[in-house]
Amino acid sequence: MKILHCDTDDLDNPLRGGAPVRTFQINTRLAERHDVSVFTATYANSLRQRNRDNVRYATLGFGIRGIGLSHHLTYLAALGPRLRGSPHDLVVEEFMPPFGFSLLPLWTSKPIISLVQWFFFEEWQARYKLPFEKMMRAIPRRVHYRNFIVQSEKMAHYFRALVPDARVSVVPGGLQKEIHFEQDTPGAYVVYLGRLARHQKGLDLLVEAWRDLFLRGISIPLKIVGTGQDQAWLEEQICVAGMQQLVTIMGRMEGQEKYELLRNCRFLVMPSRDETFGLAALEAMAVSKPVVAFDIDHLNELVRPDRGVLVPPGNVAEFARAAHDLWEQPRRCTELGLRAHAVAQTYTWDRLAILQESIYLDAAQSGVRT
């Protein structure tokens, strides 16, 4: 089967999120049995074409200096014609900013799977003052979408209500089997892992919580792992609070280096306002580390009270208290981490790729157009 996967983000994008990780991990496994190509948007120093583990990648569109949406808009403009000119049996259309849907049913008669990893309309609407989610919700009334893959039951409920006759399947994120590691000793610091995005990832809330603890004489070492558009702001906030010796920005870390850092931490903090799954949480759980997070939709299907700590969304005082309490209880931290590890073992890319492939094959064989 010839599969075309359309995703604006890419593994080498310096501002990427977790979506291209899933795109790569699933598709490399499918490429053992299928012909897979991925179309991504351009980014700084991107290559027009490349091959990763038998998956062909090509970038579409271009950036225009001073126009932040240009990479996405030119990608969308180029995507339909490129799709029409490329042989395929199935199309995977990633939900992507700013409109969610890419209108690909207008360009092909083949089945389309809409894969929802991005769903952060609030941040984009605040930035560009446009009702992107309202625009997204109007699209299925005019363009037929009938196959969806989402990462949580809550998101499945949303799309079943939006498109009542759609087939909506839940396939969560995953991990490499070999990184699962059981550990029964607490670590010497706390980790934040993710994009440096002030609003969506809740970094403003994290800084406020750590500053409140610091002013009360409570010093918990925090290592922040990641890159993103708000790094300069974050560095300034750390300096203003006088926490340069307590909070360290590590930059992006990958592979063994990242997991060694996680293995030696006490727990992960995840102050996000919005998530569609929570891959960083799963990575911490895989190495027996609990997660302190806000009790938000989608993430709370992975992080639960028996294997982590959830606090009311946006409540900085409770977040700080939960982090301090867990820091002071290393035995509880270890117990939660061991339970988290047991759950994480079921989230392997090998198993999830088989599940996702079965959805692809069913869509292709049923002939349901989108």
pLDDT digits (tens, 9 = 90+) for 141-181: 999 999 999 999 999 999 999 999 999 999 999 998 766 66
Tokens 């196959």, residue? Answer: 147
* Fold entry, domain 177-344: Rossmann fold (3.40.50)
- Dihedral-angle region of residue 259 (phi above 0 means left; psi in -120 to 50 means alpha; beta otherwise): alpha
For residue 97, what pLDDT is reported? 86
Residue 340 vs residues 72, 164, 194, 296, 362: alpha-carbon distances, Å? 37, 35, 19, 18, 33
pLDDT of residue 284: 96
Fold equal for 2-174+348-366 and 177-344: yes
Segments of the chain with pLDDT less than 70 = 178-184, 367-370
The domain spans of the chain are 2-174+348-366, 177-344
Q: For residue 2, how far is the Cα from the chain centroid?
A: 26
Q: What is the pLDDT of residue 69?
A: 76
pLDDT of residue 123: 84
Q: What is the pLDDT of residue 171?
A: 98
For 186-196, what is each residue's pLDDT tens digit?
Answer: 799 999 999 99
Q: What is the pLDDT of residue 369?
A: 53
pLDDT computed for residue 76 by the predictor? 92
Best CATH choice for the domain 2-174+348-366 from the list 3.40.50.2000, 3.30.1330.10, 1.10.3720.10, 3.30.70.1140: 3.40.50.2000
